[in-house]
Structure 1
Amino acid sequence: MNEVFSTPIEIRFAHCDPAGIVFYPRYFELINGVVEDWCGHALGMSFHEMHVVKDIGLPTVHIETDFVKTSVLGDRLTAQLRVLKLGRASVTVEIRMVGEKNDLRLRAELVLVMAHVRDRKAIALPEVLRTQMQRFVVVDAIS
C-alpha cells in the first residue's frame, strides 16, 4: 500500500545544546518517540499495551543516522516513517525528519526486533502488528 506515517515534532529547549541547536543524542530520543507514536497511532498497539499488558517490546538493535542539516529551538519538523523490510521477528524502518520547507534534517534507518520483555528473546511479530506494518512497506522493498 505504501503509506507513510507522519507525526509532528516541535524542537524544544530540552532538545538543544547551549548553541541553540539540537544536541545529536536528543535525536535518538525523538526517533524513539516516532516509533512509539507509529505503534500507538498507526499500528493500534501502544507501548503501554506492548510493554505492560502483553510483556513484549520492539527495541532498536541497529541504527544508522545521517544528520543532514541542523535544527534549532522553535523549529517544527515532520517525521516520516516507512518500512523498508518486514521479517519474521524484525522490521527495518526509515525515518526522515524534514523542516517546514520540506528540507531534510535527518535520515535514520533502524532495525527493530520484536522481543519478549521478561525473557529478552526475539519472538515472531504478532500477526495483528505485521498486518498493520504491511501498509507502510515501500512498494519496491524486498521482504
Structure 2
Amino acid sequence: MADIFELPIKVLFQHCDPAGIVFYPRYFEMVNQTVEEWHELGLDYSFARMHSEDRRGVPTVSIGAEFSAPSRLGDVLTWRLELIRLGRTSAHLRVTALAGDELRMVATPVLVCLDMDSGRPVPWADGVRAAMSKYLAAQ
C-alpha cells in the first residue's frame, strides 16, 4: 500500500475573503505548501537544496481543481498528497483537503523536474525517484 503524505493547515485570516471563507486562490497556495512540505518531510529533499544546490525546480505545468464545500476561518484542513503517476520527468499528484471527514477541495497538479539553468525537463534523480515511489498509488 502506498504512503499518503498528510499536512494539517489551519485556515487563517489571511486565507479568507470578507465573508470569512477561504478565497479560492488561497487553496492553490496551500496546495503548493503541501507539495513543498512533502518534498522536505516526505522525500527528504527540501526546496532549498533542490533550488540552491542541485539547480532543479518542480514547476506546476498543469492543475485541475474541484471545490466541494467552503472552508472557514479557524478550520483545520488535513491536506493529503498521493502520487498518481510518476513519469521520467513528471509527477501527477492528487492533493485533497479535508475538514474532519468532509471533503473541501481536490487538486490534481502535474509537476515537471526542471534544470533551472537550461529551463528544460530532466529525469528525476535516482534517490528522489525512489523516495517518490513510496507514495505511488496502486493503479
- TM-score, normalisation: structure 1: 0.95
Residue type at the aligned position of 1:8: P
Alignment of 1:4-43 (within 5 A): 4-43=4-43
Percentage of pairs with the same residue: 39
Q: Equivalent residue of 1:120, what SS?
A: coil
Residue type at the aligned position of 1:4: I
Count of residues paired in the alignment: 139
- TM-score, normalisation: structure 2: 0.98
Tell me how far 1:118 sits from its aligned partner: 2.4
Return 5+ residue gaps in structure 2 as ranges. none
Tell me how far 1:120 sits from its aligned partner: 1.3
**CA offset digits 1:71-108 (Å, max 9, x no partner):** 010000100000110000000000000002x1000001
CA distance in 1, matches of 2:3, 2:28: 23
**Structure 1 residue ranges (4+ consecutive) displaced by more than 2 angstroms after TM superposition:** none
- Tell me which residue corresponds to 1:106: 105
- Tell me which residue corresponds to 1:123: 122
Return 5+ residue gaps in structure 1 as ranges. none
| Match status 1:65 vs 2:65 | yes
CA distance in 2, matches of 1:98, 1:135: 22
CA distance in 2, matches of 1:134, 1:54: 20
Tell me how far 1:117 sits from its aligned partner: 1.4
